[in-house]
Chain A
Amino acid sequence: MVHLLRRQERYLLLIAGGYLLTGAVILYPDISAVNALIAGLTGLSVLTAFLLVSVFWQASCYYGDGFLLPVTAVLVATGLIFLFRLDPAAGLRQLVWLAAGLAALVLTTRLLADMRFLSDYKYIYALAGAVFLILPIFFGVERGGSRSWLDFGIFQLQPSEFVKILVILFLAGFLAENRAILAVGSKSLGFLALPGPQEWGPLLAMWGVSLILLIFQNDLGTALIYYGAFLAMIYVATARFFYVLSGAGLFLGGALASYFLFEHVRMRIEVWLNPWRFLDTAGYQVTQSLFALGSGGMAGAGLGQGYPGFIPAVHTDFIFAAVGEEMGLLGGIGIILLFVSFVFLGIRIALRARDDFAALLAAGLTSLLGLQAFVIIGGVTRLLPLTGVTLPFISYGGSSLVANFILLGLLLNVSHEAGKKI
């Protein structure tokens, strides 16, 4: 059984590899021969690395979903192609991070494959998460306006990328344990049944965590994603729209207050409403992104033929604008469909999960990744106010890439558990 699953996976990975090599070849006329050689060899070694992961899973009788890794591989390939096109040095660094990410994936699927015990340590995750989040406030360095980085000399780490997984693990454990009481409520307010403060507590704590991110780290995007995933999970656990409404109300209240309290939040909203007024200042980045997307049109300028270099931070948060300029609307929709596929597969895993904890974990991780993709693509295209988060698996960024591979590993573990017994 397992060899059929993994063979099919490798077949799909070969297609992803073909995609990556095509990208490398198309870039050829525009970069030097040495770089072209590097690009070609890189493509082959990346493909080999992905194939080896699949071979390893086959050898270790791993039943994790066979479509997620190929989908991820195409996303990663797109990221690599564009990073080499935009900034070859960043592309090379991303390769190192990719190796680390694949190693993290293998370790996650190996060590945490029996994920039953994970739900026992939920308060440890909460504590560790809180510590990791607070660290940058005191020891962090500021980058791109967000104070959410820890400096380790040779590399920098963004703890909030890893904390997001701890948050989902904690919530999955907590909600699986308390979902009955949360759904029914322990106090009654006339016709409306309300849970007591013990159950409200975590909700408020999450709100607090999001506000810490928002206020002290100036990281609006991450706060939004944490909170959105949290609301999705609490809805999955309780089916009570009341939580979602009051949670959304709390968040809107917080956002509104920070609009009036903090100049940078107000500026963001104003730039969102009318970026052209701030074309030379705060709106420069998003208007350049709109120019890039508009110039791309339907089919795009062609790989290497556009001018995404005008957009600041194009290799991290704004990489989708570069994709839209050079691969056009068709390429952009392609990327969106890949994320839709990822989310679809994640939801399918959640539906097939064997118990509440596993289902909540899968649903939470999937919502997290889906929301992150939606929030940054929406920000870059001005559908939403701009918030600086990475486009999962595509943007340059080590913490983000490694964390997302761990997320992928956990998701696969849920499907492995459901699949192996059949």
Chain B
Amino acid sequence: MRQNILKVWYLLLGCFLALVFYLSYLQVGWGPALAAHQRNPRLAEYEAKIKRGTIYDAKGVVLAETGFAGDKRIYPRGADFAQVVGFVSGRYGRTGLESAYDRYLLGKDDLGKFKNTFDRLLGKEQTGNDLVLTLDADLQKAAFAMLDGYRGAVVVLDPRSGAVRVLASAPAFDPNRLDDNWPRLLENEAKPLLNRAVQGAYPPGSTFKLVTAAGALVNLPGVAERTFNCPGYLAVEGYKLNDTAVHGEVYFEEALAVSCNTTFAALGLELGTADFYQTARSFGLGKEPPLELAVRTSTLALPGRLKGTELAGSAIGQGEVLVTPLQMALATAGIANRGIIMRPYLVEKVRSASGELLQQAAPQPWLTATTPPAAGVIREGMKAAVQYGTARAAAVPGVAVAGKTGSAQNPHGKTHAWFVGFAPAEEPQLVVAVVLENAGAGGAVAAPLAAGLLKRALGVR
């Protein structure tokens, strides 16, 4: 019977050990997410006791602040950062970075909890931590001014580091006046609460030819030297895919510059399902970009259906391809940064109220999208597009801009106007992605907007 009793002991001990392991995971591994869960009623209680941290842009402009513990949160830049910084409200919840960084802003990180316990005992004010973002308040404001009247989004980021400079989504709303506007915000069919830059799903149109081009350059040897004949249409499985024009004999770079659908649809078919799909994935489709905010994963048809007309359509950014503006910015950054896509990020540092640095963003690669030679060829094509092709309106005096336009067909009316590009073309500092819903041709509306923004960002008079 001794043996049996010992076995019962081992069983009970095993049960309690399992409990210890599970509890450790629950409280330490999963704990922070639970503590900052937007339905956790503690957040409102902390809010009342702790002076929530301030959020700054990259140059020290205040984007969100709280006077004293329990006061209303103030957003000095109003609608400019409505979706990306988000808001905190006892009644309407918590969104954007305010929600994602709740734990730090409320000083509930391990160090902050420790410090605040002492502050409480000493009767001092308890403070949260401050955030310094990578965003540029002036550039963001300029982007919003240009988006006025449109539905759409603008993303600007630094391809060398992944630091996001502008993340604008229009229409926006004033986070200081939620009480007055809330029902209208919910009913508004333009969905101002939606952050289109990271959550909007659009067909990319011709901007997706960058991805197709990269796939062709890597997988089809000699393609950069070939010429293509464009009769103005392409016959695929008995269907006729019409092009926007008869481009005649075109070189590879030229095909990119004039955005020849026939050439790229044919290249997509030549690449085949496996290589095309693989290329799209290496540019980040089907993967959630590791941003601090929730990003909609960009998608395309699964390999099983990615054949014939679907493959030809996907190669020119139609078909079932759906991307976020951030995703297109990242794909473009891959070209600009010689094939390497850096992890995008919004928070440069977290520091305590007394100025100690708690967290510093460290740029790191996310994906290897393509090879440096392929990126070089595509860059030449994008430069040509701005010099004499479809993206001429994106030209900035004195700076070489590389760009690609898109006019994506969609079931809601006029085409979505797209532009993606970077500048300066040889030493890229900024990548821009612009989408304007149902605004017409990319070269006519999106490209000039991008030019204006680049001009301002690069300090060109």
Contact = CB atoms under 8 A, between A and B. Distances in A.
B70 to A, nearest CB: 16
A19 interface: no
B42 A381 contact: no
B122 interface: no
Contact of B41 (A290, A291, A340): A291
B41 A307 contact: yes
Interface residues of B, number: 40
Interface in A244-299: 279, 287-288, 290-291, 293-299
Interface string B285-316: 00000000000000000000000000000000
B8 A232 contact: yes
A374 B120 CA distance: 36
A336 interface: yes
Given A293-B27, A377-B23, 16 more contacts: A236-B1, A237-B1, A237-B4, A290-B34, A293-B26, A294-B33, A295-B108, A298-B27, A301-B113, A307-B41, A328-B27, A339-B16, A370-B15, A371-B15, A374-B15, A381-B23
Given A307-B42, A381-B22, A297 B16 contact: no
B78 interface: no
Interface in A281-336: 287-288, 290-291, 293-299, 301-302, 305-307, 310, 324, 328-329, 332-333, 336
Contacts of B24: 329, 333
Given A232-B8, A359-B1, A329 B23 contact: yes
Contact of A294 (B11, B16, B37, B45): B37
A310 B13 CA distance: 32
Contacts of A299: 110, 113
B274 interface: no
A67 interface: no
A295 B34 contact: yes
Contacts of A310: 41-42
B241 interface: no
A350 B5 contact: yes
Nearest to A367: B8
Nearest to A374: B15
B40 interface: yes
A302 B150 CA distance: 51
Interface of A: 232, 235-237, 239, 279, 287-288, 290-291, 293-299, 301-302, 305-307, 310, 324, 328-329, 332-333, 336, 339-340, 343-344, 347, 350-351, 356, 359, 363, 366-367, 370-371, 374, 377-378, 381-383
B23 A297 contact: no
Contact of B117 (A237, A294, A302): A302
Contacts of A290: 26, 34
Given A291-B41, A294-B32, A297-B110, A377 B9 contact: no
B430 to A, nearest CB: 40
Contacts of B186: none
Nearest to A287: B39
B35 interface: yes
B20 interface: yes
B30 interface: yes
B5 A297 contact: no
B458 interface: no
Interface of B: 1-9, 11-13, 15-16, 18-20, 22-24, 26-28, 30-35, 37, 39-42, 45, 108, 110, 113, 117, 120
B113 A329 contact: no
A25 B323 CA distance: 59
Closest 10 CB pairs of A and B: A294-B34, A329-B27, A294-B31, A347-B9, A295-B35, A236-B4, A291-B40, A370-B12, A374-B15, A297-B31
Nearest to A343: B12
B16 A340 contact: yes
B249 to A, nearest CB: 60
Given A295-B34, A370-B12, A383-B22, A279 B5 contact: no
Contacts of B6: 347, 351
Contact of A343 (B9, B22, B33): B9
B32 A297 contact: yes
Contacts of B113: 297, 299, 301
Given A295-B34, A296-B27, A374 B22 contact: no
A293 B30 CA distance: 10
Contact of B23 (A237, A332, A347, A356): A332
A291 B11 CA distance: 30
7 contacts: A236-B1, A295-B40, A295-B42, A340-B16, A344-B9, A347-B8, A356-B1
Contact of A332 (B8, B15, B27, B120): B27
A332 to B, nearest CB: 5
A358 B1 CA distance: 12
Contacts of A279: 39
A26 to B, nearest CB: 11
B23 A336 contact: yes
Contacts of A343: 9, 12-13, 16
A344 B5 CA distance: 11
A351 B26 contact: no
Nearest to B2: A351
Contacts of B41: 288, 291, 307, 310
Nearest to B120: A305
A288 B39 CA distance: 9
A351 B5 contact: yes
Contacts of B39: 279, 287, 291
Contacts of B31: 293-298
Contacts of A329: 23-24, 27-28
- Residue with the highest number of chain A CB atoms closer than 10 Å, among B8, B24, B33: B8
B9 A294 contact: no
Contacts of B22: 381, 383
Given A236-B1, A295-B42, A374-B15, A324 B8 contact: no
Nearest to B49: A305
Given A236-B1, A294-B32, A332-B23, A340 B37 contact: no
Given A298-B110, A310-B42, A371-B12, A359 B34 contact: no
Contacts of A328: 27
B19 A383 contact: yes
